[in-house]
Chain A
């Protein structure tokens, strides 16, 4: 059953439209991650859903209710803010119970619900603390409990983990996910961290310039990215533009090839003779020969940069390789993501450090 439906939504600030003709449907009890680089329109979409940015065109449905023109307080879509936006003059319990108090729920009922939520988010005994005395992770949970207290139709989370320490982040990530499974709320989470999206979401929508590039399950997005942009954003950092020399195939003049560093098989040839050609060869598999530029320790593997002709390729290898070692790289066909002539959309958003020279 569709819980949230966004139809042809146009929204933005002033005359600058950030979302143009945006469409998305979220099912009851589903968690969708909006993934994209900064400025792609993810936060604008959340603000449009919550009523902080007006929609100039299009409709938003919650169930069969149209909420497009409703003021923020009537939407019943609650948000976990990136900065948490907890009220410093109220206690933890008052923060959590605020939405219920606004709805004129009886004090005893509010107390029951607050206690229930404190148990759910594991903050028992902290109800009378000032929120300013809590740690980042605890504030995060108060914000989550506050948003869940009123049993919203849809919960939206705006980069909920970006203000946490790396270690706490891993824990909270799983906690939010298991809470979502346990309570079954419909939610939309915004993130720019692909790993976060993969772990938490039932489906991922990769956004680029206010449009969905690809919508699918984490496996689909990861294994079969539909465009160069998605492939690159999902961690296929190696990019090779393959010019087909074969004049008998005029249509395929240039192909954009993307692959992950972990899918590169590195072999060190025993004879020096074979390492003379510094070139890339693409048939159905991709093979290249080159020299090690540098190697960095990544914990359970080494990330080595290999110079192959005009390209620099990142590859993962189990052991360290000294500079200038001749190596042969091989990427099997199933690990390659190949796109035809999509160089503008991809190259524009590829972080420069990941871009190869050509």
Chain B
């Protein structure tokens, strides 16, 4: 008798012990669902829009599905493919401009002995400190005087201003992580400073510089405001197309464009993840 009593008691205890765990479990599920909805809800909506042909207002789902708009987008004569091409050209040129500045600047600024080091570093941040709109409006006004408005060069320069912050700051961090003894060893064995830079220092900093290039590339690909003020209407990039498509209520084109823009972002994020070492991240801004 006593034995069964004890077992029942222990069972009740067991249940009580499990109760909060179960409650927690359902709470967790609820949170995960809410977060998933917040994160992926808009994306799901976007994905549905890409394969919609007809969708009337009160309905929860489109009445007609299909890839009609994909064919439209990937038609060689469509705006989208030409904009995609322009976007990529601009992004590559922006990366080149940023590299030209950030490699020497990053190396110079990684040296503690550099005069006004903090000032130079902050200089590249200043355009980000003001509201985008005012900065780009004034740039557009300036570029107008030089005839740069509506030109590829103008847009590349605007993107570079934005990209330089990333590329310079990351390059400084990348060069700071290189061991100064490696440089000394090279000089010691008879290599001049320039030979040493290209054969020893640059290879050491390369992963960080590649990561900064990817950032610049992605930023340029997604850049809207600057392109709008300096490039439109002569230069049409994907974000500009996205803007005009959604303004015209052409959600299918806008969604597909957004999806195209998503691809390089995800791809490069994975690569950056590989290149950015924790040691380098710890040197950011130092």
Question: Which A residues lie at the B interface, using CB under 8 A?
Answer: 50-52, 71-74, 76-79, 81, 83, 85-89, 98-99, 102-103, 146-147, 150
Please report the C-alpha to C-alpha distance between residue A87 and residue B185 in the assembled complex, in whole angstroms.
9
> A102 to B192, alpha carbons, bound, how many Å?
9
Asked if A81 and B187 sit within 8 Å, CB to CB, the answer is no
B182, B191, B200: the one contacting A73 at CB < 8 Å is: B191
B196 closest partner in A (C-beta): A73
Inter-subunit contact B189/A85 (CB<8 Å)? no
Contact with A along B32-52 (1 / 0, CB 8 A): 000000000000000000000
Interface residue? B195 (CB, 8 A): yes
A98 to B189, CA, bound (A): 8
- A-side contacts of B184, CB under 8 Å: 50, 52, 72, 79, 81, 85
Residue of B nearest to A83 (CB): B181
A95's nearest neighbour on chain B, judged by CB, is B185
Task: Determine whether B204 belongs to the interface, using a CB cutoff of 8 Å to chain A.
Answer: yes
* A87 to B182 alpha-carbon distance, docked (Å): 6
State whether A98 touches B186 (Cβ < 8 A). Answer: yes
CB <8 Å contact, A89 and B181: no
B 220-258 binary contact with A (CB < 8 Å = 1; else 0): 000000000000000000000000000000000000000
Is B188 in the interface zone, CB < 8 Å from A?
yes
B179 within 8 A of A: yes
Using CB atoms, name the residue of chain A closest to B204: A89
Q: Which residues of B contact A (CB under 8 A)?
A: 179, 181-182, 184-192, 195, 200, 203-204
In the complex, are the beta carbons of B190 and A99 less than 8 A apart? yes
- Given the known interface contacts A85-B179, A87-B182, A89-B203, the answer about A102 and B190 at a Cβ–Cβ threshold of 8 Å is yes
A146 near B189 (CB under 8 angstroms)? yes
Residues of A within 8 A of B190 (CB): 73-74, 76, 99, 102-103, 150
Given contacts A78-B189, A79-B185, A86-B185, 16 further A-B contacts (CB under 8 A): A50-B184, A71-B192, A72-B184, A73-B188, A74-B190, A81-B181, A83-B179, A83-B181, A85-B179, A87-B182, A87-B200, A88-B204, A99-B190, A102-B191, A146-B185, A147-B189
A-B CB proximity, top 5 nearest: A99-B189, A85-B181, A85-B185, A72-B187, A102-B191
Chain B hits for A98, CB < 8 A? 186, 189, 191
Given known contacts A85-B179, A89-B204, is B195 in contact with A102 (CB within 8 Å)?
yes
B192 CB contact (under 8 Å) in A52, A73, A79, A83: A73
Instruction: Please report the C-alpha to C-alpha distance between residue A91 and residue B27 in the assembled complex, in whole angstroms.
Output: 55
Q: Which residues of A have CB within 8 Å of B188?
A: 50, 72-73, 77-79, 147
Q: In the complex, what residues of B have CB within 8 A of residue A150's CB?
A: 189-190
What's the Cα separation between A79 and B184 when bound, in Å?
Answer: 10
A94 to B, closest residue via Cβ: B199
Alpha-carbon separation in the docked complex, A84 to B184 (Å): 11
- Closest chain A residue to B180 by CB distance? A85
Q: How far is the CA of A77 from the CA of B188 in the complex (A)?
A: 7
Chain B residue, CB-CB nearest to A76 = B190
Residues of the B chain whose Cβ atoms lie less than 8 Å from the Cβ of A103: 190
CA distance A50 to B204 in the complex (A): 23
Residue of B nearest to A89 (CB): B203
Residue numbers in A under 8 Å from B200 (CB-CB): 87
Closest Cβ of chain A to B93, distance in Å, is: 29
Q: Which of A71, A79, A85, A88 has the most CB of B within 10 A?
A: A85
CB contacts (< 8 Å) of B195 on chain A: these are: 102
Please, how many angstroms separate the alpha-carbon atoms of A98 and B181 in the complex?
A: 15
In the bound assembly, the distance between CA atoms of A147 and B182 in angstroms comes to 13
Query: Which A residues are CB-close (under 8 A) to B189?
Result: 73, 78, 98-99, 102, 146-147, 150
| Nearest chain A residue, comparing its CB with the CB of B188 | A79
Measured between C-beta atoms, what is the minimum distance from A283 to chain B in Å?
Answer: 55
A-B residue pairs in contact (CB < 8 Å), sample of 18 = A50-B188, A72-B188, A73-B187, A73-B188, A73-B190, A73-B191, A85-B181, A85-B184, A86-B185, A87-B182, A87-B200, A89-B203, A98-B186, A99-B189, A103-B190, A146-B189, A150-B189, A150-B190
How many angstroms from the CA of A220 to the CA of B73 in the assembled complex? 89
Residues of B near A83 (CB, < 8 A) are 179, 181
Chain B residues, CB < 8 A from A87: 182, 185-186, 200, 203
Alpha-carbon distance A99/B203, docked complex (angstroms): 17
A150–B203 Cα distance when bound, in Å, is 23
Write out the residue numbers on chain B whose beta carbons fall within 8 Å of the beta carbon of A52.
Answer: 184
Closest Cβ of chain B to A59, distance in Å, is 20
A77-B185 Cα distance, complex, nearest whole Å: 11
Q: How far is the CB of B180 from chain A (nearest CB, A)?
A: 9
**Cβ–Cβ < 8 Å partners of A71 in chain B:** 187, 192
Q: What residues of chain B lie closer than 8 Å to A85, measured between beta carbons?
A: 179, 181-182, 184-185
Q: Give the residues in chain A near B192, CB-CB below 8 Å.
A: 71, 73
Nearest residue (CB) in A for B179 is: A85
Nearest chain B CB to A243 CB, angstrom units: 51
Residues of B within 8 A of A147 (CB): 188-189
- Chain B residues near A78 (CB, 8 Å)? 188-189
List the B residue with the shortest CB-CB distance to A156.
B188
Nearest-Cβ distance from residue B255 to partner chain A, whole angstroms:
44
Distance, CA A89 to CA B186, complexed state (A): 13
CA distance A98 to B191 in the complex (A): 9
A3 to chain B, nearest CB (A): 18
Distance A65 CA – B187 CA, assembled complex (angstroms): 19
A158: min CB distance to chain B, Å: 10
Q: Which residues of the other chain, B, contact A146 by a CB distance below 8 angstroms?
A: 185, 189
CA distance A102 to B203 in the complex (A): 16
Q: What is the minimal beta-carbon distance from B44 to any residue of chain A, in angstroms?
A: 45
Give min CB distance, A335 to chain B, whole Å. 43
- Residue from the set B189, B200, B204 with the largest chain A CB neighbour count within 10 Å: B189
Name the residue of chain A whose CB is nearest to the CB of B200.
A87
Bound together, the chains give a CA A50 to CA B181 distance in angstroms of 13
Chain A residues closer than 8 Å to B185, beta-carbon distance: 79, 81, 85-87, 146
